Amino acid sequence: MSEGKAYDLVVIGGGPGGYVAALRGRQLGLSVGLIEERELGGTCLNRGCIPSKALLYSAHVMETCERSGRFGITIENFAMDVDKVRRHKERSVKQLVSGVGTLLDRAEVDVHRGHGRFVTDHEIEVGSGDGRGRVEAEHIIVATGSSPVRDIFEGADGRNVWTSDTALNLPYVPESMVVIGSGATGMELAAAYLHFGARVTIVEMFDRALPREDHDAGEVVMRTFQRRGGRTEVNARVVRIEDAGDDKRVVFERGGQEEHVEAEVVLIAIGRRANLADLGAEQIGLRIERQGIWVRDKVDTPAADPDRPPEAMCPATQLRTSIDHIYAIGDCIRGIGLAHLAMHEGVAAVEAGQGIAAHINYSAVPTALYCHPEIATVGLVEYRAKELGIDVDVGKFPFAANGRAVCSGAREGFAKLLSDPETGRLLGATVCGTYTTEMIAELTLAIEQGLPVDAIIDVIHAHPTLSEALHEAALATQGRPLHIPFS
């Protein structure tokens, strides 16, 4: 790397937000440098979204084999091969990471390997030891991502205490596992290892597992989890992790009393922390908050507001930091985030630097949880509407009454839509069931455009498909579903 090479744009971090920002920069004719100290694709491709979905699909295949008899198919003597499951995960990751490298190479993005650290607000040092060099840029985007949190419990650094990174490497399937935390990461890995044969117990500090999800959806997922033998301990604040012979003991406090649960392995899945170590932020006066880098137009309320028109929910988004020509996106501004949101923020930040008005509707950011069954959500959830005092009409339709779901043995779950009683505008949606993460785009589009539920009702949904449940749920917000018996 040449000393002091200058670019129009330098991106620090090659995860989903970073590499997409670099590609968009090249589309706009900018000279672009990308700094990455680990693998291209960041956490998502290497230690998050992709490896977890590869493991979960292997778990899904196992479940399909177990349930094949109900469809008239007999599969005998099927078994899990841990090494082959791991290789499937590694092949998936390798193919996609290689694809990112090819995209960057063909777009003529210069990739600099090493840790990026600000020297001045226009100059970045890259590398370590004898491999140090420097690059300069007119505009800089910080996309350094996040890492798993594990250091808040006594004993968290002991033997057989895993983070999500460890669990996704699938070192082996333990006989038993305690998962601390039941957010997306904890629930997905708990589901995978439960299917692989481990006895899994979830320990959650809130009064329910999946506390941030729609409560009805969370109950469906947890019924399935418990039916397969999984256990949950809620209202349980973890105090410490200690050895218990060859096993581990997780000690938690509940109702003023200490209780515990033991297992071979403990998985800590309580969240992530923005990667800001040795960034040089203080040296250049970059403002840092508790969750991450401060950006001046960050929106923290991903809930549709019926009193605001759709265009007001997506103001011009620039993602500028306290220094005008430096932008920040993704996990490093919020501690934990979503790959698809980081990608959109990457595009918005590049465009803002070129004077292009970029918009992100933070009330229309979908979330997807790939446990069994899946949960996909956009906009308001019902319990949150109640907390905010927002009056909504609720339409809910069960997959047990959907033809495609019945034929494929996917009867669990439902579609739920929330609309504004006065205007009919769609404010939120949750879909819980098999492959329902593939159904959220239609609902996201409706919320993004500020459409009423009538827009979904007017769409002819193919039969038989799971998406017909969306049509029925939309009708149900108006009290007129066609495939639920009259009360």
pLDDT for position 318: 81
Cβ within 8 Å of residue 453, ≥6 positions away:
395, 417, 419, 424, 425, 426, 446, 474, 477, 478
pLDDT for position 227: 94
Which two structure tokens, joined as six digits, stand for 263?
């297992």
Residue 304 phi, psi (nearest 5): -65, 140
Round to the nearest angstrom and report the end-to-end CA distance of the chain.
72
Same domain, 122 and 198: no
Q: Which CATH number characterizes residue 456's domain?
A: 3.30.390.30
Q: What would the mean pLDDT of 125-132 be, rounded to a whole number?
A: 74
pLDDT for position 357: 84
Per-residue pLDDT of 433-458, as tens digits, reads 999 999 999 999 999 999 999 999 99
Per-residue pLDDT of 348-394, as tens digits, reads 999 999 999 888 889 999 999 999 899 999 999 999 999 999 999 99
Does residue 483 lie within any of the structural domains? no
Per-residue pLDDT of 160-212, as tens digits, reads 999 999 999 999 999 999 999 999 999 999 999 999 999 999 999 999 999 99
pLDDT for position 1: 41
Q: Is 344 a catalytic residue?
A: no
Same domain, 19 and 143: yes
Residue 310 has pLDDT above 80, yes or no: no
Instruction: Give the burial class of 81: count Cβ atoms within 10 A of its Cβ; 0-12 exposed, 13-18 middle, 19 or more buried.
Output: exposed
Same domain, 137 and 205: no
Domain termination site, one of 236, 270, 304: 270
Q: What would the mean pLDDT of 312-321 be, rounded to a whole number?
A: 66
Q: Which of 483, 425, 416, 482 is nearest to 453 (CA)?
A: 425
Per-residue pLDDT of 77-106, as tens digits, reads 899 999 999 999 999 999 999 999 999 999
> Distance (Å, rounded) from C-alpha 481 to C-alpha 469?
10
Does residue 155 lie within any of the structural domains? no
Which of the following is catalytic: 112, 463, 471, 483? 463
Residue 307 has pLDDT above 50, yes or no: yes
**For residue 8, what are the β-bridge partners?**
none
Q: Which CATH number characterizes residue 12's domain?
A: 3.50.50.60
Domain termination site, one of 254, 270, 286: 270
> Distance (Å, rounded) from C-alpha 99 to C-alpha 69?
39
Where are any strands of DSSP class E within 305-404? 326-328, 367-369, 374-379, 393-398
Same domain, 138 and 225: no
| % of the chain surpassing 90 pLDDT | 86
Q: Which stretch of DSSP H or E encloses residue 430?
A: strand 426-433
Q: Encode 288-313: b = buried (16+ Cβ within 10 Å), e = exposed.
A: beebbbbbeebeeebbbebeeebeeb
Query: Amino acid letter at 12?
Result: I
> Distance (Å, rounded) from C-alpha 71 to C-alpha 14?
45
pLDDT for position 297: 67
Same domain, 24 and 141: yes
Does residue 156 lie within any of the structural domains? no
Residue 221 has pLDDT above 70, yes or no: yes
Q: What would the mean pLDDT of 280-297 be, rounded to a whole number?
A: 91
φ/ψ region of 87 (left if φ > 0, alpha if ψ in -120 to 50, else beta) reads: alpha
Q: What would the mean pLDDT of 427-431 be, rounded to a whole number?
A: 98
Cβ within 8 Å of residue 219, ≥6 positions away:
none
Q: Which of 214, 217, 207, 210 is nearest to 380 (CA)?
A: 214
Residue 130 has pLDDT above 90, yes or no: no
Q: Give the Å distances, CA to CA, from 461 to 153, 339, 482.
A: 50, 29, 14
- Dihedral of the CA atoms 384, 387, 388, 389 (nearest 10)? 120
pLDDT for position 233: 97
Same domain, 315 and 404: no
Residue 337: pLDDT band by 50, 70, 90 thresholds? confident
Does residue 92 lie within any of the structural domains? yes
Same domain, 279 and 136: yes
Query: Which residue segment(s) compose the domain that 210 sits in?
Result: 161-270
Q: Which of 252, 248, 224 is nearest to 239 (CA)?
A: 252
Residue 286 has pLDDT above 90, yes or no: yes
pLDDT for position 377: 97
pLDDT for position 474: 97
The pLDDT mean for the chain works out to 92
Side-chain half-sphere exposure of 75, counting CA atoms within 13 A: 13
- Pairing state between β 133-142 and 237-244: unpaired
> Distance (Å, rounded) from C-alpha 272 to C-alpha 45?
16
Q: Which stretch of DSSP H or E encloses residue 440?
A: helix 440-448
Same domain, 9 and 141: yes
Residue 304: pLDDT band by 50, 70, 90 thresholds? low
Per-residue pLDDT of 245-254, as tens digits, reads 999 999 999 9
Residue 296: pLDDT band by 50, 70, 90 thresholds? confident
Same domain, 236 and 289: no
> Distance (Å, rounded) from C-alpha 14 to C-alpha 141?
11
Q: Which stretch of DSSP H or E encloses residue 146?
A: strand 146-148
Output helix, strand, coil percentages for the chain, rounded to the nearest 5. 35, 25, 40
Residue 230 has pLDDT above 70, yes or no: yes
Higher pLDDT, 415 or 132: 415
Q: CA angle 296-429-184, nearest 5°?
A: 70
- Can you say how many angstroms the Cα of residue 25 is from the centroid of all Cα atoms in its chain? 25
Tally of structural domains, the chain: 3
- Helices (DSSP H) in 37-183: which residue ranges? 42-47, 49-67, 82-106, 164-168
**Number of helical (H) and strand (E) elements in the chain, helices listed first:** 14, 22
> Distance (Å, rounded) from C-alpha 82 to C-alpha 196?
9
Same domain, 104 and 200: no
> Distance (Å, rounded) from C-alpha 96 to C-alpha 458?
38
Domain termination site, one of 324, 340, 363: 363
Q: What would the mean pLDDT of 103-128 be, rounded to a whole number?
A: 94
Residue 50 has pLDDT above 90, yes or no: yes
